[in-house]
Chains A and B, each alone.
Chain A
């Protein structure tokens, strides 16, 4: 690990995909409740 830019050179592809999956869960849950709201 280079000291200057602590993070460059780290392979974090798995992290990116994981957080994006978290994002998708958030969006899906939100949209589901939003649709329930609209339907009521």
Chain B
């Protein structure tokens, strides 16, 4: 078990994560019923306020706090107990991020920031909302540098050695995150905050959008990579096999540093202000970032097959039956991976230049991110939560909790299958996202969208309700393992942190030379962004005043 003080740190992060999850999923439930026109809101509450809370609390806060809890635990386990400075700065990071979260949430609740989690200008929220979001980012930077400091101490004490795989992957994710945030920090600090507080009159809208998406795409990899860490490092241990290939795992991760950032224009394919050349160039770079995910898919199946064959499986697919299906730590993540197959395929479609016109801002996109971040990532985090909290609290993961965990995972899968399929189909038919109720005065086209069995409000609402029940079961499991489950006094009751052996003996040392990867990343960023961004600044139209249209 890791040091008591490191455990306290991780548990604090997890607690915030699940408070955000609780509120966020409640908002999700309200959304499916408001969209269905089955719920009238009181005058002080608005659909878009609820949707802003859902996006911020789940996509930004739940993920970020959980990720840091996971990183802190794994880094303490793989590199050793935190020193006093690392611990201090991790706490500072925690409080700053929390402060930012609370500020942003309060402003959403009082109706001063119904601008959604993407806060596109010139919708103008209360300036403190942007300050809150900036603090969230700055807090994660502080916590990130604390972890980097911990890593550097280890490197100094272990000269010439490659770091453990978990630490390597954590540092990769953090480097990507630090670079990615430059975009959002630039726009929030230099554009939004001065404008929202009235120090400047207008804002360059297209520039703010581009800087946001400079951050927005790597943001999704900031969610995904921690899940990949679990897939690469934790799943093999549960399967009782070594890491499939240490060097290829590291290679896949550094490719994410290179290619997850210079691709943000794939979110802006249908908008003006960027020439087709630059849009297409970033589409090509987007396709590059698919390659490490193809490598990941192979590694995952290889883990399964090797593990099954070790247990005596024969034939082509005999290994499938030998997988540890009764172990929820495995089954949860397996289902998460399965959801990522259509999820990833949908992502390729979204990024395919003009095909984006079919899906852009339709419900398809909502379906898409619920089967990428909403399930593959979130369900991996759930699968980690089951043992991570007992590991940190020293409590048992009891039999009844294991049964409940199965119920939770199965219900989430069913709910998500219903809701996301409905959303995908509705989106292909043309139904828009981010809409309280898309009836358009009973326009026949709109009526047609919702006329199918799958493509109906009812399917979405049923799916959403099952999801909410599942979320509440998870909250119950979290509370039990935090405070109430019996203490694991006997060794055999203690919950382990499963971390697979990784054979580093064939891994080239240059993979851990960060300056190479950071250098290439910046070269690619400059190639992809320097010219289009400077032309947005030099050929800027008169800027926009702010509008409060809610």
Contact = CB atoms under 8 A, between A and B. Distances in A.
Interface of A: 3, 6-7, 10-15, 17-19, 22, 25-26, 29-30, 33-34, 36-37, 40
B355 A37 contact: yes
A11 B309 contact: yes
B245 A25 contact: no
A11 B357 CA distance: 43
A18 B301 contact: yes
A40 B362 CA distance: 15
Given A30-B349, A33-B359, A34-B355, A7 B305 contact: no
Contacts of B349: 29-30, 33
Contact of B301 (A7, A14, A26, A34): A14
A3 B504 CA distance: 11
Question: Is the interface on chain B under 10, 10 to 19, 20 to 34, or 35 or more residues?
Answer: 20 to 34
Contacts of A17: 316-317
Contact of A19 (B297, B348, B359): B297
Contacts of A22: 297, 341
Contacts of A33: 349, 352, 355, 358-359, 428
A29 B354 CA distance: 16
B355 A12 contact: no
A6 B358 contact: no
Contact of A12 (B302, B318, B345, B346): B302
A15 B294 CA distance: 13
A30 B352 contact: yes
A29 B342 contact: yes
B327 interface: no
Contacts of A36: 358, 428
Contact of A6 (B317, B320, B503): B503
Contacts of B346: 29
B354 A30 contact: no
Given A30-B348, A37-B354, A37-B357, A13 B316 contact: yes
Given A12-B301, A26-B345, A33-B358, 17 more contacts: A3-B505, A6-B503, A11-B305, A11-B309, A14-B301, A14-B319, A15-B302, A15-B304, A17-B316, A17-B317, A19-B294, A19-B297, A29-B346, A33-B349, A33-B428, A34-B355, A37-B357
Contacts of B142: none
Contacts of B359: 33
Interface in B308-360: 309, 316-320, 341-342, 344-346, 348-349, 352, 354-355, 357-359
The 3 A-B pairs with the shortest beta carbon distances in the complex, nearest first, are A15-B301, A26-B345, A18-B301
A18 B352 CA distance: 25
A13 B380 CA distance: 27
Contacts of A18: 301
Nearest to A26: B345
Nearest to B316: A14
A19 B301 contact: yes
Contacts of A15: 298, 301-302, 304-305
B443 interface: no
A25 B341 contact: yes
Question: Most chain-A Cβ atoms within 10 A of its Cβ — which of B305, B320, B359?
Answer: B305
